[in-house]
Amino acid sequence: MPDALEDVRKWAGQPVTETPIKGGLSHRIARLDTSDGQTWLLRVLDPRVSAAGLGIPLEQEIANTLRAADAGVGPKVLHRMPGALLLEYLDGVTLDAHAVRTLPGPVAAACRRLHAGPRFVNDFSIFRKLDEFLALCRTHGLSAPDGYEDCLPAAAEIERALAADPLPTVPCHNDLLPQNFIRCGPEVRIVDYQLSGNNDPAFELGDIAAEADYDPDLTARLTRAYFGEDDPRLASRVRLNLIMSNLTWTLWFAVHHGLLKEQAADAGFDYDAEAADKFAQAVRDLNDPAFGRLIDDVRGVRPGSPPPPAPPRKEA
């Protein structure tokens, strides 16, 4: 297979220089500069990532990247190559957690725009992702943090509660850590569709809140900015998804570290510390006295819906 850079040079018909960007843990990402002054972004997908279950299949990622571009949120796709994409270079500032905490409005607006765009080609559930990761850990003898399995009944309880009155699914990114947001002027754009799929929008918001360490007040502000209404049940739904983000992505690190050893060794990244940090946050929220109220809230009804019959209480 020709190298993607060679492919781009041929396509462009001119010399192109590559400057690697060290960012995420997964793929080869580089800024390309052409001799006539254009700047592009090269994303060469590492097939080992999706093969290990850490990303969706490459063809789905490419199809969803095209759709996110159509929504006006993702970078434009300039050229497709086997397993690689040449993208519009977003000339802005990559966000960090602090910036995401100061920008709930523009972040919510970017999500609304993505979610209003064309549906993605696959569905995504954080609960099924958790099941997949657990199965991989068991099959390959990878270790989750101590006490991990004790949290699984609570995850099942969250899934049941969210399913009582589900929201329609929308095309979600599902991995909105701060570095996947790029601020371009007043607008926030979104890159990296490695885990994209149609999902509950409350997961998108909960995941953003988890990755940028939002407190409950800021989580409520993000929820309000996105839904345009002040409904505590929606904020509770987002907070339960925040817990699921921390709980599930804890295992992303265990699986990445265990199955992609070569990549992990090159990354110079403390996988165990990251997994322990996410797990500690999930445990903190599961043990919080507010947890039961969050569950009760989401079992309620959304404004405008007829009230459902009272659900049977588990303890009854």
Ligand X SMILES: Nc1ncnc2c1ncn2[C@@H]1O[C@H](COP(=O)(O)OP(=O)(O)O)[C@@H](O)[C@H]1O
Query: Binding of ligand X at residue 21 (CB under 6 A)?
Result: yes
> Considering the complex, what minimum distance in angstroms separates the CB of residue 175 from Mg ion?
7
Query: Binding of ligand X at residue 267 (CB under 6 A)?
Result: no
> Considering the complex, what minimum distance in angstroms separates the CB of residue 24 from Mg ion?
3
Query: Binding of Mg ion at residue 65 (CB under 5 A)?
Result: no
Of the candidate residues 192, 200, 204, 207, the single one contacting Mg ion (CB under 5 A) = 192
Instruction: Pick between residue 77 and residue 294 the one whose CB is nearest to ligand X.
Output: 77
Query: Binding of ligand X at residue 259 (CB under 6 A)?
Result: no
- Binding pattern to ligand X, positions 135-174, x when CB under 6 A? ----------------------------------------
Structure tokens at 109: 């607006």
Reported as type and span, the H/E element at residue 184 is strand 181-184
Binding to Mg ion (CB under 5 A) within 151-180 occurs at: 180
Buried b (16+ CB within 10 A) or exposed e, 66-102: bbbbebebbbebbeebebbbbbbbbeeeebeeebbbe
Structure tokens at 285: 């929220």
Of the candidate residues 58, 69, 75, 190, the single one contacting ligand X (CB under 6 A) = 75
CB 11 within 8 A of CB 58: no
Distance of alpha carbon 233 from alpha carbon 239, whole angstroms:
10
Size of the site for ligand X (CB under 6 A): 21
Distance of alpha carbon 247 from alpha carbon 282, whole angstroms:
6
Query: Binding of ligand X at residue 191 (CB under 6 A)?
Result: yes
Reported as type and span, the H/E element at residue 190 is strand 187-190
> Considering the complex, what minimum distance in angstroms separates the CB of residue 77 from ligand X?
10
How many other CB atoms sit within 10 Å of the CB of residue 246? Answer: 24
Query: Which residue's CB atom is positioned nearest to ligand X?
Result: 24
CB 27 within 8 A of CB 180: no
- Binding pattern to ligand X, positions 35-64, x when CB under 6 A? ------x-x---------------------
Query: Binding of ligand X at residue 89 (CB under 6 A)?
Result: yes
Query: Binding of Mg ion at residue 64 (CB under 5 A)?
Result: no
The backbone region for 57, taken as left when phi is positive above 0, alpha when psi lies in -120 to 50, beta otherwise, is beta
- Residues in contact with ligand X by CB under 6 A are 21, 23-27, 29, 41, 43, 75, 87-90, 94, 179-180, 182, 191-192, 194
